[in-house]
Each structure stands twice: as structure tokens, then as C-alpha cells.
Amino acid sequence: MNAPTAARLGLVACQVCELVSRPPAAACACPRCGARLHSRKPDSIARTWALLLAAAILYVPANLEPVMITRSIFGTQRDTILSGVAYLWHSGSWPLAVLVFVASVLVPLLKLLALSYLAASTQRRSRVRQRQKTRLYRLLEFIGRWSMLDVFVVMVLVALVKMGALANIQAGPGAMWFGGVVVLTMFASMSFDPRLIWDPSGGADG
């Protein structure tokens, strides 16, 4: 059975306002909101892969380099994301330690792996578990932003702790790599077109 999709009937749904229209030319603007119309996001899979690759490369220095450098009368301390988590854990704030670990380490990793899986299986025009894959994609779009957590933590600490000789906190290079990972994975999931999951088949979930 072939499901009636907009694409099969020569219609295009606008990415922004969701208006369904029949575009007179290959590339043109939505008659309602003026956004560029594409039946599917252009070069979706290729762009997703490129952004994922870039994010995966940045993920390494993001975790190895210090995100925060504390200078105080006791010396200089360089904190990576993981040592920050360890510090929270040992100081008794284990719920926060878990939270930071999930948001900063687990979520970006999960996003990289899950989006790679979605891109690879869509590229193979796989027809299995389409509903679950759609749900996974929605989850990824929702959780990605929470990885920005540690960047904000660094920002607040840098802004507050400027005690001259007493103590001074600086952002380390890891913070920049880390922000890069979050932004790139967000762009990667935005480039992925979930409708491609459903294109190989018309029927119900098998």
C-alpha cells in the first residue's frame, strides 16, 4: 500500500508554516510565509553527516581540555568536564554531578551515535522501526539544547569570581570546543529530514 504523501502527489509542505501547496517551479517560495520550499531538506543526509563528523572531532578536545581554569592563592586548578563532575560528586552534590554528567557527557555522545544511526539507516532506505526512529529523532531535538549547561556554568563562574589575587576563574579552551559540539549537533539534527525515514515505504509500520 502506498500512503498518500505530499511528495507523491507533487505537493510541498512548507517547513516553517506547514502550508501545503503545489509549487509552480522546482525552487520557489511558500505562498503564505515566503520561506524557501523544499519537498525534502536539501542534501539532508550529506549535511547531517558532515556536521556530525565535525561535532565528533570537536567532542575529543571538548572532553580532554580544561573548560575552566581557577587561579587562587592555593595554586592553579584546571578542570575538564569530567573532573568538574568528579568534584561535584565528592563534595556531596551527587544529584548535580549526575545531572552535569548526563547533560554534558552522555547527551552529546548519545546524540552523535543516535543521529549517525538515523542517517545510516535512512541512507540504506531501511524500512524497519520507522515509528521508533521518528520518536528517537523527536527526543534528540528536545534534549540537544540541555548540553549547553556546562557552558553556562563556566560563564556564571567566570563572571562572578574575579577576586584579583584571591581567586580568579577563566574559561578554558574546552568551553569553546564544547559549545561547538552543542551548536554543531543542533545543526546536524536540524539538517536531518525525518520524512526521509518514511520515504522508502508507503505502508504501516512493519
Partner 1 sequence: MKHSNLIACHECDLLQREVALPPGGKAICPRCQTTLYTHSIDSIDRALALMLGAALLFVIGNVFPVVSMEIQGQRTEALVWQGAWRLHQEGETLVGVTVFLTAFLFPLLQIAGLLAILLPLRLGLTPRYLVPAFRLVEQSKPWSMVEVFMLGVLVSLVKLAHMATVVPGVGMWAFFGLIVLLAWASSTLNPHEVWARLEVSAPEPAA
Footprint of Zn ion (CB under 5 A): 14, 16-17, 19, 30, 32-33, 35
User: Is the CB of 63 or the CB of 130 nearer to partner 1?
Assistant: 130
Please, what is the minimum distance in Å from the beta carbon of residue 14 to Zn ion?
3
Please, what is the minimum distance in Å from the beta carbon of residue 141 to Zn ion?
15
Cell 556546562 -> residue: 150
For the chain, the distance separating the N- and C-terminal CA atoms, rounded to the nearest angstrom, is 12
Is the CB of residue 45 less than 8 Å from the CB of residue 196?
yes
- Residue 63 has phi, psi (to 5 degrees) of -95, -20
* DSSP structural state of residue 11: -
User: Is the CB of 53 or the CB of 102 nearer to partner 1?
Assistant: 102
139 binds, among Zn ion, partner 1, none (CB under 5 to 8 A by kind): none
176 binds, among partner 1, Zn ion, none (CB under 5 to 8 A by kind): partner 1
Q: What three-state secondary structure class fits 143?
A: helix
Amino acid identity of 41? K
User: Is the CB of 43 or the CB of 142 nearer to partner 1?
Assistant: 142
Cell 549537533 -> residue: 185
186 binds, among Zn ion, partner 1, none (CB under 5 to 8 A by kind): partner 1
